[in-house]
C-alpha cells in the first residue's frame, strides 16, 4: 500500500492546493498548479472529465461551466446551461473554450488571462518538468474521479471504464507513490479497491457526522477520510485516527479555520488559498 508521505517542505502537514490554487488563479489549470507549487503545497488537488475521443481533461464539471468559460466565439454561456458537454466534444473542441478570463465573483482575487482546460497528461508533464527545473520537492497528486450515477453514459463513461482510463494514464505518467484517487462515488472507490488494491484512496464525504455508517456502506477502510470541514469534530478525528486513517478536510479557506482543524489533529488541509496556510 502506498501512503503519501508529508514532504520536507515548509509545512509539517499535507497542504493541498484545491483545483491548484483556485482562490488565486483560474481553477484546474496548469498555471493554478504552478502557483500552488510556488506557494509550497505538498499536494495538487484536481478533478477529471473525459472527452468524446477519450482524452482525460482536468475539469470540475463535465461541461463548460457558465461561471468559468466562454464559448469558442467568445460569448457568455447562459446561467444553468450544461449543454457544452465535454463528453460530447473532442479535445480539439475543448481547447477552443477559454477558462481563464471570466471574472469569478466567488474568487475576485483570481488573476485573469486566457487559458484552456488541460489534459491530465499535459499537466503531469509540465508540473514534473517545473519542479525538476526549479529544484522543488516532487508534488503529490490528489486526483478526483468525478463520476455520479446521474452522469453515467451522459457526461462520462461508466465508473469502471472511467477508473481504468485514469489508472492507465497515471500508471504511464507518474509514480503511484505520489498519487491518491479520491471520489464521492463509492462505486469508483470499490472498483479501485478490488482492481487496483495498492492505490491509496480517499473517500469524499459531505457530512462528517456519519463516518461510521459511511464506512459501513463503503465496505472497506480506505487510507483517507476527506470530509467537508464544517461538521468535522475532535471526536470523529480521534476515532478515525485510531483506526489508522488520515483525515484531510476540504475546502478550508481561512487561516483561522485551518489552524482550528490542525489543532484537532487533521493530517492535511485542502484549500483554495495555499497562501493563507499556517506555516508549521
Ligand atoms: O477534494 C475534495 C474537494 O475537491 C471536493 O469538492 O466539489 O471541490 O470537488 P469539489
Ligand atoms: Ca475535487
Residue carrying C-alpha cell 485510531: 242
- Cβ–ligand 1 contact at 204 (below 6 Å): yes
Digit-coded pLDDT (tens) for 199-213: 999 999 999 999 999
Domains of the chain, first to last: 14-63+108-276 (3.20.20.190)
Stretch 85-106: mean pLDDT: 98
- Cβ–ligand 1 contact at 65 (below 6 Å): no
What is the percent of the chain where pLDDT is above 90?
Answer: 96
Distance in Å, CA 61 to ligand 2 centroid: 10
CA 242, CA 178: separation in Å to the nearest integer?
A: 24
**pLDDT score, position 1:** 57
Digit-coded pLDDT (tens) for 50-79: 999 999 999 999 999 999 999 999 999 999
Residues with CB under 5 A from ligand 2 (ion): 47, 144
Distances (CA, A) of 174 to 8, 41, 122, 133, 221: 19, 18, 12, 17, 25
Residues 6+ apart with CB under 8 A from 54: 165
Distance in Å, CA 250 to ligand 1 centroid: 7
**pLDDT score, position 10:** 80
Prediction ipTM score = 0.98
Q: Identify the residue whose C-alpha is closest to ligand 1 atom 7.
A: 60
Scanning the chain, the segments in alpha helix (DSSP H) are 30-38, 91-94, 120-133, 159-171, 186-195, 211-218, 234-242, 255-264
- Cβ–ligand 1 contact at 270 (below 6 Å): yes
pLDDT surpasses 70 at 164: yes
Digit-coded pLDDT (tens) for 243-265: 999 999 999 999 999 999 999 99
**pLDDT score, position 4:** 55
- Which residues are bridge partners to 56 per DSSP? 50
pLDDT bucket at 222, cuts 50 / 70 / 90: very high
Distance in Å, CA 47 to ligand 2 centroid: 5
- Cβ–ligand 1 contact at 45 (below 6 Å): yes
Amino acid at each position: 500500500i502506498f501512503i503519501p508521505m508529508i514532504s520536507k517542505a515548509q509545512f509539517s502537514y499535507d497542504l493541498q492546493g484545491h483545483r491548484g490554487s483556485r482562490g488565486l488563479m483560474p481553477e484546474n489549470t496548469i498555471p493554478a498548479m504552478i502557483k500552488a507549487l510556488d506557494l509550497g503545497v505538498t499536494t495538487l488537488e484536481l478533478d477529471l472529465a473525459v472527452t468524446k475521443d477519450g482524452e482525460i481533461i482536468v475539469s470540475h464539471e463535465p461541461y463548460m461551466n457558465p461561471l468559468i468559460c466562454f464559448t469558442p466565439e467568445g460569448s457568455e454561456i447562459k446561467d444553468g446551461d450544461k449543454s457544452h458537454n465535454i463528453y460530447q466534444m473532442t479535445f480539439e473542441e475543448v481547447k477552443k473554450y477559454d477558462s481563464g478570463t471570466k471574472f469569478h465573483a466567488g474568487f475576485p482575487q483570481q488573476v485573469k488571462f486566457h487559458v484552456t482546460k488541460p489534459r491530465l497528461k499535459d499537466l503531469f508533464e509540465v508540473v514534473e518538468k517545473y519542479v525538476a527545473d526549479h529544484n522543488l520537492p516532487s508534488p503529490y497528486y490528489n486526483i478526483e474521479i468525478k463520476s455520479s450515477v446521474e452522469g453515467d453514459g451522459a457526461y462520462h463513461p461508466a465508473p469502471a471504464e472511467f477508473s481504468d482510463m485514469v489508472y492507465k494514464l497515471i500508471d504511464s505518467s507518474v509514480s503511484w507513490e505520489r498519487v491518491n484517487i479520491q471520489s464521492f462515488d463509492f462505486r469508483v472507490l470499490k472498483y479501485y479497491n478490488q482492481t487496483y488494491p495498492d492505490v491509496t484512496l480517499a473517500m469524499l464525504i459531505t457530512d462528517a457526522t456519519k463516518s461510521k455508517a459511511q464506512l459501513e456502506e463503503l465496505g472497506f477502510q480506505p487510507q483517507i477520510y476527506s470530509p467537508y470541514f464544517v461538521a468535522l469534530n475532535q471526536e470523529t478525528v480521534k476515532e478515525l485516527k485510531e483506526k489508522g486513517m488520515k483525515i484531510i478536510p476540504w475546502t478550508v479557506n481561512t487561516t483561522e479555520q485551518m489552524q482550528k482543524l490542525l489543532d484537532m489533529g487533521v493530517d492535511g488541509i485542502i484549500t483554495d488559498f495555499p497562501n493563507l496556510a499556517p506555516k508549521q
